[in-house]
Each structure stands twice: as structure tokens, then as C-alpha cells.
A and B are shown apart, each in its own frame.
Chain A
């Protein structure tokens, strides 16, 4: 199942991550966030939109002010 694949990912629900400094500004590089959602890119459109590869992961990151963004895995790192 998709959730099983997601479980094998580097990050899990509730984990705290940092946005890499090389991430686009819209992703608030250097900020800390909490992972509250995960999905796998399964369509070309979404892949193009995020400039990511198919089957890579997108993480829904909630920041301290309550706002949330979907950020590709490649722009996240552990603290």
C-alpha cells in the first residue's frame, strides 16, 4: 500500500524538520516545521509543478504560526 511505502520514508507524521537553505524562498528556507501530511507524486502534472521526479515524496509541513506548505523531500532535512 501507499501508506506502507510512506512509512518507509525518511520522515514520519509529527516529525520536526528543517527547510534546507537552498530551498526556494516560498518554502521558507531555514525554518522549522512539523510534518502533518505525506504523499507520493504520482502524476506528471504534480511532478512538473514541484519540479520533482515521479514517485518522490511531498511533505505537508506546518510552521509555528499554523500555516502549512507542501514541500518536496529534497528540501527537507532532520534537525
Chain B
């Protein structure tokens, strides 16, 4: 037996909570496993993982029952520090885990604290493992999000632990960087025999990297199974708001017993059965370049002064006309300039060169307060938008400041529309991630803008919340002239956008329909984009037109083709 972690009959209740988070939990993890922990919000995933390094019950002293052994140590008799020599933990908000100013200092912080004389070598070695060795003397705040995540991992690796726990790496990172992290984890698992435990929502990552899957629901273990077997349980997973790979969803809905998980399997599976006669599908009419554009970029450039006093060019030569009725997705890697592009439109930042007009009005000569009459910007992190002490007050901030008549009625309407009536007196900061997102959208809607800019609206949401949110985004279209979304979420792009703009190192390298984009693998690769599985599958199967959602893919197998499923996109995942 190579059992590394043994959890027996564990029940835990946070102090002051009404119900236990973990109920009579039993679990065993073997050495060298790559385990994915899945379950909907509140199922106890993070709580379970915090048992392994003793944060529970030593740091969170709630009611603890049962026994946990990690690498032969009983967690009740070992301190958090002792257990941390065996278990490395990368938090979900990993940025707050970095406590030193420079990269090497942070990586070697733990071994230094434990008084190890070779602490610097350990830090260097950990940096090499994650591929950050060249940045050893850099300041932590100069790193990109992906690099910070790797550094948080390096900080754990410096102690050379047998077990690495990583809390939702894909929630805060774009798919490209999430893949990078998983490649590092794979290396640690295969070459160095580390046991990896990853809390993960994205089943496509699970399918590619994990060996086993642990499914939790309401504090209990439903099962722990090998990956393939686990992801085949399409119905059960869907019921618990976890979405199996799109190919598996499609196959399952077509009544298959053995569903394909990976792309190759899916191609083999569907090759024979895909109908050769393509049903006639009506494509949405491209929006004609009518009248005046709502927003116009003319040779716009933007740069800022970085720490080492050099000018860093964020955007250059941006030429863009955006028209009424368009649903524009802006995609590209982190640091490609997406957020900056949106912020220029709000007037918070002024273009350095060129002209930018919104409704024929130059943004450079307007204050952000003035621009707010037309444009609403929804932050990536909703918490940065909460400036009052209740949801209702936050939503009412804009109309109140402008003394709009009868705004109270309008606010009540919006609160209802965004399902916030029961939460309206709560402090927005204390709500869950999904509720915060909804509140941030409601704030935007209350501004009654003609342009709404959403920065990563679906980031760090679990699938259920994400689905819910997509519906609100679709509703926005009815009231607002132009919706722009900067996003990494290719499923959202594929189901929603009518026009896609790809940014790469501050320049537009593509502007057009998603059809064209998704059928250009070289371009996608350059911009670090990964199309949704169903799109790749339809491309591999040579179906025409390409399917952008599971629903439309399934419709091929039905006799009567349905309408283009855009209006139903909200129900699909």
C-alpha cells in the first residue's frame, strides 16, 4: 500500500456555522496520484484540502471529528508548519500568498523560515522547475498573473513537499496560462513522483491531465473514480452543475453508452454517424456598416511608463469602427491590451496618439464622469466596483448622483431583473462570486448606457453561475446599442459574439466573424486561443457550417433542422 493521505470519518463545522461543511468523510489518496476534486460551490472542496496541511483544525478551530493521516503524520498532533513540509498549498487568490518583494526571496521564504542553510539554492531550484529562473531578481509586482501563479507554486516546491494542492488554477488564469501550469504539474507528477491534488471545474483540463476524480456534494464524498469512468457520468455531473467535455455531452444526449472524452476519441466516435447531408442552417445576417459608428478608433496608441522608466507600448495603431447592434468580443492573451482598450473608451485613460470618438464626441476632451452618460464599464473584479455599503445603494449610486426622476422605481425593476431583490440590503463584498457578478451587471444596467463594456464577465465562476450569467448578458442586448466583452472564455465567444477582435501585443491581428477565426488554427495559435471542443470537433469532422454549441451540433442528427440556436445559447454549455 502506498497510501499517502488517509481521511477517516471526518466531520468539520466552522465556528459559528449552522451545519457541518464536511460530513463523515472517508478518502484515501495514493502516492503519485493526479487527483481532481470536483463539486459545486459549497460542497467542501477547499475545506477538505485545508485538512491536509492542518489549517483545519489548527488555524480554523471548529468542531472536528475523525482522523486524518498525511504521510504518516496525524494532523491533530502535527503543526501547520510541520505538515507544510509535506504538503504545498497554492491558494485560489494566489497573489496574496506572495509576501516578499523579489522573486527569489519569495521562492526561498519558506526554507529560510525553517532555518535551512541551503534556502537560496532551494529557491533557485524551485524557480527552475517552474521555469522562472530568469526572473529571479525581478520584483513580484512586475510579474504577469500567470507568472505570479507559477511563483506561488515555486514557493511551495522550495520545501520539496510530496503533495501539492492547487486550488482552482483555471479560475484566475487564461486558458493559455492555465495549460502552462498544468504542464508544470504534469512534469512534477510524472518525473518527480509528486502527488497532485487539484480543485478544478474545467473537465477538459481534467480529461487531459488527471488520473482520478473525487466528486463531492454537500460535504460528502459521492465517489472517487478513475478519470474516464468519472467523466462518463454525464447525467450525474450535469445535475451537480459540472459540465463534462462537450463531446461527451453531445454523445450522451444522442444516447451513447460509452461517451468519448478527448478530441481524438470524439472524432473516431462521430466520424461514421455524422449526417453527410448538412441541414440548411441560417447564419445571422452580418450587421451592415450603417450610418455613424458608435465608437471609432483612429490610429489610437497608448503607452505607460514602467518601473524601469521605459515606455511600455500597450496599444498601437488601433483602427476600429463599431456599429449599433454589434456583439463584439475582444480576445487575446493576458497583457495583449484588452482591458486598456476598454478603459480608453471610458475616458479613465486618454489615448496617447490618434483620436477616439464615442457617438462622434472625442473622448480625450471628456471627463470619465461625462463619458459615464453613454458608457458603462464593468470591472473584471466586481469588488472594485462596490463603493457603497449595500447592493441597492451601489446600484442607485449613478441615478442618485444625477438626480434622475423616479429612479427608485427603476432601481427596483433592475434589482428584480438581476435576481437581487433578496440581497439588496446586503454588503456586496460579502456575497458569493456569482452574486457579485450579478450585482456588478445591475450597476451597469442602472446607468442606462448606450454602450456597455464587460471585462472578463465569466472569469472565476463555476459553471452553474456562468450559465446563469450568460442569460443576463443576452438580456442586455435588448436595451443597449453596443455590447463589448473582453474575455478568455471561448465558449462565450462562440455562442454569443457576432464580431471578434483579436489583440496581440497591442495590435489588432484579426477583426471579423468567429467562423473565420476558428477555422484559422495558425492565427488562433499565435494569439494563444483555444477554441471550444465542439468547434474543434466540427472542424475535424469537416462539417459545414461549423457548429458553435452542443445544441447546434446535436441538431444535425435531427430530421427537422431547427433555427440557428443563438437565441437559445443561454441554455447551452
Q: Judge: A and B partners, yes or no.
A: no
Enumerate chain A interface residues (CB-CB to B < 8 A): none
